[in-house]
Amino acid sequence: MIVKFKGNIENINSDSVDLDVNGVVFKIFITLKDKKKLKNIGDRLIINIFEMIREDSRLLFGFLDLNEKLIFEDLIKVQGVGGKMALNVISELQSEEIINSLRNEILSNFTKISGIGKKLAQRIINELKDKVTNEKIFKSSTFFISEENKNLFDDLYSCIINLGYQSKVAEEVSREVVVGNKNKALEDLIPLALKTLKIKSK
């Protein structure tokens, strides 16, 4: 499973970026917010990746902000929300706005986005609001990984993925360990993550 790419920008398209990774060029769909942050062809780019595999296709979605990737993963679990629509939501709304809209059931923030009517907006809220109100997962002070910890979170997440764990488990454990053990290096966090994984598997 691909979790991150490091490469050079080959081309910037209307809704995607072509990234040269060691001579292989990948098309990665991105948000409009991230597109505006891209500068020049040939620039070095490090981007978090969500790989969507279907029977007839394989799509790559990229996020400069790891928190937006986590929100994307939740959005596409809602029936009727595909990858492109989830990108539109994240393009139109800040992460904090999405969380607030779910928590306070603000349909209008979702219905203003192209392709989302009242029924789908209500379904998004109904299916995700409980995750927002669950303090163990979405406590406002812990859900968002701080800027200085994003690379640490991503490295720990990659380690757990490489051990064969599912993305959801890797994300949950990485977030719990990084947030709960501030100012520690990766080599200190790995044993803690393994211990947490062992406890959760019982």
- H/E stretch holding 177: helix 167-180
Arithmetic mean of pLDDT, 131-148: 53
Predicted confidence (pLDDT) per residue in 6-15, tens digit: 999 999 999 9
Superfamily of domain 66-142 in CATH is: 5' to 3' exonuclease, C-terminal subdomain (1.10.150.20)
Residue 154 has pLDDT above 80, yes or no: yes
pTM of the model: 0.69
Domain range 4-63, CATH architecture: Beta Barrel (2.40)
pLDDT surpassing 50 at residue 29: yes
| Percentage of the chain modeled with pLDDT above 70 | 91
Q: Which of helix, strand or coil describes residue 75?
A: helix
Q: Are 186 and 156 in contact (CB under 8 A)?
A: yes
End-to-end CA distance of the chain: 25
Q: What is the pLDDT of residues 114-137, one digit of tens each?
A: 999 999 999 999 999 887 655 434
